[in-house]
Amino acid sequence: MSSDIILNATIMGVGMHLGAWRHRSQSPSDYLNLDYYREVAQLAEAGRLHALFLADTLAVSEENYERPNLGAMDPTAVLGALAAVTSRLGLVATASTTFNEPFNLARRIASLDHLSRGRAAWNIVTTFIPDVAANFGKDPLLPHAERYAKAEEFVDTVIALWESWEEGALVGDKASGLFADRNRVHAVNHDGRFFSVRGPSTLPRSPQGRPILYQAGSSEEGRALAARVADVIFTVQNTLSSAIAFRKDIRERAVREGRSPDSIKVLPGLVPVIGGTERESQQRKAELDELAGEAELRKLASRVGIPVRELALDKPLPFDRIKANDKFNASRGFQAAAMQLGASEGLTVREILYRNGGGHPQVVGTPEQVADFIESWHRAGAADGFNLMIDELPSGLRTFVEEVVPLLQQRGTFQRDYRANTLRENLGLGNPDDTVRSQERRSANYA
Amino acid sequence: MSSDIILNATIMGVGMHLGAWRHRSQSPSDYLNLDYYREVAQLAEAGRLHALFLADTLAVSEENYERPNLGAMDPTAVLGALAAVTSRLGLVATASTTFNEPFNLARRIASLDHLSRGRAAWNIVTTFIPDVAANFGKDPLLPHAERYAKAEEFVDTVIALWESWEEGALVGDKASGLFADRNRVHAVNHDGRFFSVRGPSTLPRSPQGRPILYQAGSSEEGRALAARVADVIFTVQNTLSSAIAFRKDIRERAVREGRSPDSIKVLPGLVPVIGGTERESQQRKAELDELAGEAELRKLASRVGIPVRELALDKPLPFDRIKANDKFNASRGFQAAAMQLGASEGLTVREILYRNGGGHPQVVGTPEQVADFIESWHRAGAADGFNLMIDELPSGLRTFVEEVVPLLQQRGTFQRDYRANTLRENLGLGNPDDTVRSQERRSANYA
């Protein structure tokens, strides 16, 4: 592949690893502090990473009492602050299509795009955590297919709002007093199964034409949504072969949607645990695992959808029990990845736990080994780049930026500087669809 | 009165005056730019103003095509950015109880409180603009009393979420691995007429104990809500006598709610139009009015709730027609203020338009005259301070900070520096209610 590798840094609490808050030297309440987010963001920008990605969860589940909650802080507030202290870094806010209103969310992300001068993205999630539903009423979580039906409609409505002002509709002619050209601002008049939104947006077109869309979710419905509208898909792919097949599938789906296959970027998660030597990296990993204790086991049980007591450390995953659970309503991507890892290499539960609990692929090694992994997946067509799930922040990101990034730059596969000011351009994406054509196509779905 | 005057600066588009965008020398699209907001916020902080207040509207109404929309940008995103570039200034985000979810809003404002280290406030509004309702479904706007019934429940739920983690519940003991003390984090279990929210919040107690509550709305229901829960009430009071009566009423209501009368601060809006001489201030006012054209007339018609054609420039307001409109569902405070101004001084429509359209009181004059007005209302017990509705930004604020603030400081009625780091302390407010007592009292309403 000729294009540069894309790299994002993900913030989950004070690091992806459940032991991170105990292992790091800084305050356990850093995940509430602007100074912490500023340090991480400025590190990512110093390393020329394309974007900072904020995960989100709208509830504090039982396991979250054991560590800084990954979704404790509102992403818009945090990324608004980071817009003021960075200038090139993309800012990706996760937000749920199940527990937001399209009008509010569209305005929030477009505001971030204006404030950051074209660096905002929305990471579309549908939310699979029952604890979240309880914070928004008495109804249980919608079933998977319904969640995605609602997500499709939500996203179309948001895009229509983002495109409701034509380019140039804000005239701003002080002499004549013409502020906006009313004829170039269009109601959305969305009237669908889940939402009714008249519009238009309160905001003119944003600097990127419209903000970037990430989609996180690798189920059939998630892939379909991503192939239709997303600029980036964030996925969990545990093996090179599954990642190659996944990316091929997404690109083919995009083509079937009338898009260029290069208009959608596939970013698997990657957990780098870096040390100056292999031994040092293994030491870091062992320390983190020791501090996480049994939390990793509970996380794996929740991920595959069975009680903790049905997992035995020195046995394989109970595949039959997992498959028999027809009430499973959580992330299918994470469940599939964990099972595939366990099956393909015949791993015990203990071995799966060591391998990041069957979640995102993990490289425990030297900067060279991490750089090699990234390049090999990129070269093989398994990834356009990675969402880096840093083990512990900011230390893991600092090492990545200081040790891995220069290697990739020397090898000519990662940018030495930002190409442009907007995330859209930095990701190598073209302009979004022409306003009118895009609006017409979408509104046809709800006629 | 012994206590210092409280001053907030309000951002509405690029200034309160409808002609501001044409009068100012800067770009008409500044209301989309971080640099603009940064400049205004840093000016306010240089002037030791207590807080910056962001108005909000969740729709673009027809008249908003004529000028920068006051509620175009999401306040959380903007104030998140300003948290990063200020250190003492309070940050007040307006948000509607009709078109938000309590869980999301509570988290958003609490996040801002953490990021700003204790400078966040929520300005509670119920939304009276029908265009907004059309962006959130097919139902018409709730009637006034219903909107406030929903607001009462919304606010109680938000406070319960803010108090759901006891002080100190985040233990963060790395050695033992105890991150949070589960026994000191409480579900909210709110189950009311409008909302069902289990909680707890994803966030520990915020730096101010809980964020500050502003309430904007001076109807019977608005006063009742403010007297029960608000720290600050923002009101439109056109005459000294009405302002004295209003503040007395609010303080008495607070006492009946078992609160200290000093625990709620009454801030009327005030529009200063300042010039070096009286003549210069009148010149500025004339230029702005000329540039606004007929927009002010349409605004007045909408404010009193009758068609524009029923207003004659050189006649009084048609009081009978206005009172006959039993479908009026907009701001009762603004309607009453305009009618009172027209009646008490026998003004024509043209004269009312000159007087800021019957909205907030206006002082067109020298810095001394503006300072005198502020002090006289404060001394008379008409106001604890003012929400400054700056005519044009940033120029009007710069003049206020450079010319009026030093006068007030010399006279010893305005702070020469911030007393503390949190908005709560700078407003002279005590600690919020004790967690458990406060939660019990509120949940009793929904038992």
> For A159-181, how does the pLDDT look when each residue is reduced to its tens digit (9 = 90+)?
999 999 999 999 999 999 999 99
Is B136–A197 a contact, with Cβ atoms under 8 angstroms apart?
yes
Please give the pLDDT value at position A102: 98
For the segment B262-287, what is each residue's pLDDT rounded down to a tens digit? 999 999 999 999 999 999 999 999 99
With cut-offs at 50, 70 and 90, classify the pLDDT of residue A2: very low
Is B77–A134 a contact, with Cβ atoms under 8 angstroms apart?
no
Residue A143 CB: number of other CB atoms within 10 A? 11
Q: Which residue of B has its CA nearest to A29?
A: B172
Q: Is any Cβ of chain A less than 8 angstroms from the Cβ of B60?
A: yes
Which residue has better confidence, B445 or B157? B157
pLDDT surpassing 50 at residue B342: yes
With cut-offs at 50, 70 and 90, classify the pLDDT of residue A435: very low
Q: Is any Cβ of chain A less than 8 angstroms from the Cβ of B21?
A: yes
Please give the pLDDT value at position B356: 84
Average pLDDT over residues B89-103: 97
Interface probe for B, chosen from A91, A96, A115 (most Cβ of B below 10 Å), is A115
Tokens of B31: 């209301």
Report, in angstroms and rounded to the nearest whole number, the Rg of chain B calculated over CA atoms.
Answer: 22
Q: Is any Cβ of chain B less than 8 angstroms from the Cβ of A93?
A: no
pLDDT surpassing 90 at residue B439: no
With cut-offs at 50, 70 and 90, classify the pLDDT of residue B442: low
Is A136–B82 a contact, with Cβ atoms under 8 angstroms apart?
no
Q: Is any Cβ of chain A less than 8 angstroms from the Cβ of B108?
A: yes
Give the CATH class of B6-278+361-444.
alpha beta
Q: Would strands B190-191 and B196-197 be described as parallel, antiparallel, or unpaired?
A: antiparallel
Beta-bridge mates of residue B351: none
Chain B residues 390-419 within an 8 A CB cutoff of chain A: none
> What are the residue boundaries of the structural domains of chain A, listed by start?
6-168+176-278+360-444
Q: Is any Cβ of chain B less than 8 angstroms from the Cβ of A158?
A: no
Core vs surface per residue B155-166: b (16+ CB within 10 A) or e: bbbbbbbbbbbb
Q: Which of B69, B103, B137 sits opposite A135 (nearest CB)?
A: B103
Q: Would strands A265-274 and A232-235 be described as parallel, antiparallel, or unpaired?
A: parallel
Q: Is any Cβ of chain A less than 8 angstroms from the Cβ of B195?
A: yes
Q: Which residue of B has its CA nearest to A180?
A: B65
pLDDT surpassing 80 at residue A440: no
With cut-offs at 50, 70 and 90, classify the pLDDT of residue B329: confident
Tokens of B105: 């809003």
Ordered alpha helix ranges (H), B116-143: 130-133
Is B199–A135 a contact, with Cβ atoms under 8 angstroms apart?
yes
Q: Is any Cβ of chain B less than 8 angstroms from the Cβ of A167?
A: no
With cut-offs at 50, 70 and 90, classify the pLDDT of residue A348: very high
Contacts for A265 with CB less than 8 Å, ≥ 6 apart: A6, A231, A232, A233, A384, A385, A427, A428, A429
Residues of B in contact with A21 (CB under 8 A): 172, 174, 179
Omega cis (within 30) before A394:
yes
Q: Which residue of B has its CA nearest to A21?
A: B174
Is residue B90 within 8 Å of residue B123, measured between CB atoms?
A: no
pLDDT surpassing 50 at residue B434: no
Residue B417 CB: number of other CB atoms within 10 A? 7
Contacts for A14 with CB less than 8 Å, ≥ 6 apart: A20, A21, A24, A26, A28, A30, A31, A36, A68, A392, A393
Distance, CA of A71 to CA of A446 (rounded, Å): 33
- Give how far Cα A406 sits from Cα of A115, A134, A412, B68, Å: 30, 46, 10, 45
For the segment B364-383, what is each residue's pLDDT rounded down to a tens digit? 999 999 999 999 999 999 99
Interface probe for A, chosen from B104, B122, B195 (most Cβ of A below 10 Å), is B104
Please give the pLDDT value at position A365: 98
Please give the pLDDT value at position A327: 84
Beta-bridge mates of residue A344: none
Distance, CA of A210 to CA of A442 (rounded, Å): 15
Q: Which residue of B has its CA nearest to A34?
A: B115
Q: Is any Cβ of chain A less than 8 angstroms from the Cβ of B68?
A: yes
Q: Is any Cβ of chain B less than 8 angstroms from the Cβ of A97?
A: no
For the segment A131-157, what is each residue's pLDDT rounded down to a tens digit? 999 999 999 889 999 999 999 999 999
Please give the pLDDT value at position B438: 52
Distance, CA of A148 to CA of A116 (rounded, Å): 30
Please give the pLDDT value at position A438: 52
Contacts for B269 with CB less than 8 Å, ≥ 6 apart: B10, B234, B235, B236, B359, B360, B361, B386, B387, B388, B389
Is A58–B197 a contact, with Cβ atoms under 8 angstroms apart?
no
Residues of A in contact with B80 (CB under 8 A): 76-81, 83
Tokens of B172: 């963060």
For residue B389, give the 3-state DSSP assignment.
strand
Chain B residues 136-155 within an 8 A CB cutoff of chain A: 136-138
Share of chain B above pLDDT 90, in %: 81
For the segment B221-272, what is each residue's pLDDT rounded down to a tens digit? 999 999 999 999 999 998 999 999 999 999 999 999 999 999 999 999 999 9
Report, in angstroms and rounded to the nearest whole number, the Rg of chain A calculated over CA atoms.
Answer: 22
Task: Give the type of residue at B419.
Answer: R
Please give the pLDDT value at position B377: 98
Please give the pLDDT value at position A129: 85
Beta-bridge mates of residue B266: B233
For the segment A206-221, what is each residue's pLDDT rounded down to a tens digit? 999 999 999 998 899 9
Q: Which of B34, B65, B202 sits opposite A71 (nearest CB)?
A: B202
Average pLDDT over residues A183-204: 96
Question: Shortest Cα distance from A291 to chain B (angstroms)?
Answer: 8
Q: Is any Cβ of chain A less than 8 angstroms from the Cβ of B189?
A: no
Please give the pLDDT value at position B69: 81
Dihedral of CA B137/B139/B143/B145: which sign?
A: negative
A6-168+176-278+360-444 has which CATH code? 3.20.20.30
pTM of this structure: 0.95
Distance, CA of B207 to CA of B214 (rounded, Å): 17
With cut-offs at 50, 70 and 90, classify the pLDDT of residue B2: very low
Is residue A94 within 8 Å of residue A51, measured between CB atoms?
A: no
Core vs surface per residue A28-52: b (16+ CB within 10 A) or e: bbbbbbbebbbbbbbbbbebbbbbb
pLDDT surpassing 90 at residue B444: no
Is residue A264 within 8 Å of residue A227, measured between CB atoms?
A: yes
3-state secondary structure B228-269: HHCCEEEECCCCHHHHHHHHHHHHHHHHHCCCCHHHCEEEEE
Give the side-chain half-sphere CA count within 13 A for A277: 3
Please give the pLDDT value at position A442: 58
Q: Is any Cβ of chain B less than 8 angstroms from the Cβ of A34?
A: yes
Distance, CA of A211 to CA of A187 (rounded, Å): 19
For the segment A12-65, what is each residue's pLDDT rounded down to a tens digit? 999 999 999 999 999 999 999 999 999 999 999 999 999 999 999 899 887 778
Average pLDDT over residues B66-80: 90
For the segment A247-304, what is each residue's pLDDT rounded down to a tens digit? 999 999 999 999 999 999 999 999 999 999 999 999 999 999 999 988 888 889 988 9
For the segment A300-341, what is each residue's pLDDT rounded down to a tens digit? 998 899 999 999 999 999 999 999 988 887 888 889 889 988
Is A179–B136 a contact, with Cβ atoms under 8 angstroms apart?
no
Q: Is any Cβ of chain A less than 8 angstroms from the Cβ of B115?
A: yes
Cα–chain center distance at B290: 28
Q: Is any Cβ of chain B less than 8 angstroms from the Cβ of A240?
A: no
If 0-12 CB within 10 Å is exposed, 13-18 middle and 19+ buried, where does residue A176 land?
exposed
Please give the pLDDT value at position B83: 98
Please give the pLDDT value at position B112: 98
pLDDT surpassing 90 at residue A405: yes
Number of H helices, E strands in chain B: 18, 13
